[in-house]
Homo-oligomer: A and B are copies of this chain.
């Protein structure tokens, strides 16, 4: 079997550091620094960025400036702007903000869903139907993505079956989501499980399976991305410097780092449009803004190999 034969020609790295990353830090990054981050990420070639979340500021004060960031990001040429929304109220703010896509998180783990969203998974599906109705009533062209989290297991509940994940993914589409994604919220995925689940998911919904979201909690993040790439998935979430996690999932720190993921893709000749040196420079800037926080990622220590610098 020639595994590499199955790899796509190009892929998209969706930056989620301003949402998934910053929401997990106690400190609040000033809006001006977030705008500098967005400007530099766009200059480095990033064209899809999740800029924040329409969650009440009392829960996530770190993301209270989301509406302002959407407006700023929409002014950057060709940038596709995503936001996270937990419910209909957030979706109405998202529609009003003019973002291009809203991600509605659903946790396939019943226990994690109640802890994180205060709803059962099927209550979230019902909310997506209301969000779709509101989007259509507003005549908005915004896309709705249902994000199925804890798709590989959960720190609270333990096992989550692939059948349940696929059932909920289909239910989200039936309820009116335009896209679905699969997330290893707590870093329980392994490459073999990723290969199996993403193959089944793509067989079920094809290209409406929009994105893979992996954490590097136990070092398997990029191996999991590679396994998903082999099934034909071409979009992955990542956080610059590997910041992020899930406040309701103990030990779930660390999204796949943007710069390491960009390097993985470039090393295999998969086009991303990203300037990795510019991403590494931005990482250095972010490290200054987040002085004292634990950052992740590996490429920054060694830089690009001679063979790619020459190329």
A264→B6 contact, CB < 8 A: no
Chain B residues with CB under 8 Å of A52's CB are none
Chain B residues with CB under 8 Å of A297's CB are 219
Segment from A10-18, A204-212, A221-229, A282-290 that makes contact with B: A221-229
Among B216, B231, B264, the residue within 8 A (CB) of A298 is B216
B153→A2 contact, CB < 8 A: no
Q: How far is the CB of A6 from the nearest CB of chain B, in Å? A: 5
Among B158, B190, B307, the residue within 8 A (CB) of A188 is B307
Q: List 27 A-B contacts (CB under 8 A).
A: A1-B1, A1-B6, A1-B231, A2-B199, A3-B191, A3-B195, A3-B227, A3-B230, A4-B192, A4-B227, A153-B306, A154-B306, A155-B306, A159-B307, A186-B305, A188-B307, A190-B268, A192-B267, A192-B269, A218-B263, A218-B267, A219-B260, A220-B222, A222-B222, A222-B223, A223-B225, A252-B302
Q: A272 within 8 Å of B by Cβ?
A: no
A220→B307 contact, CB < 8 A: no
Q: A60 within 8 Å of B by Cβ?
A: no
Q: A183 within 8 Å of B by Cβ?
A: no
Q: With A217-B298, A223-B222 as known contacts, state yes or no: A267 contacts B230, CB within 8 Å.
A: no
A2→B218 contact, CB < 8 A: no
Q: With A226-B191, A310-B158 as known contacts, state yes or no: A305 contacts B268, CB within 8 Å.
A: no
Chain B residues with CB under 8 Å of A105's CB are none
- Tell me the A residues contacting B by CB distance below 8 Å: 1-4, 6-7, 153-155, 158-159, 186-188, 190-193, 195-196, 199, 216-220, 222-223, 225-227, 230-231, 251-254, 257, 260, 263-264, 267-269, 297-299, 301-303, 305-307, 310
Chain B residues with CB under 8 Å of A306's CB are 153-155, 158
Q: Which B residue's beta carbon lies closest to that of A4? A: B192
A260 to B298, CA, bound (A): 15
Given A3-B230, A154-B306, A218-B299, 6 further pairs, Cβ under 8 A: A3-B195, A186-B305, A190-B268, A218-B263, A219-B264, A252-B302
A306 to B218, CA, bound (A): 12
Q: How far is the CB of A122 from the nearest CB of chain B, in Å? A: 23
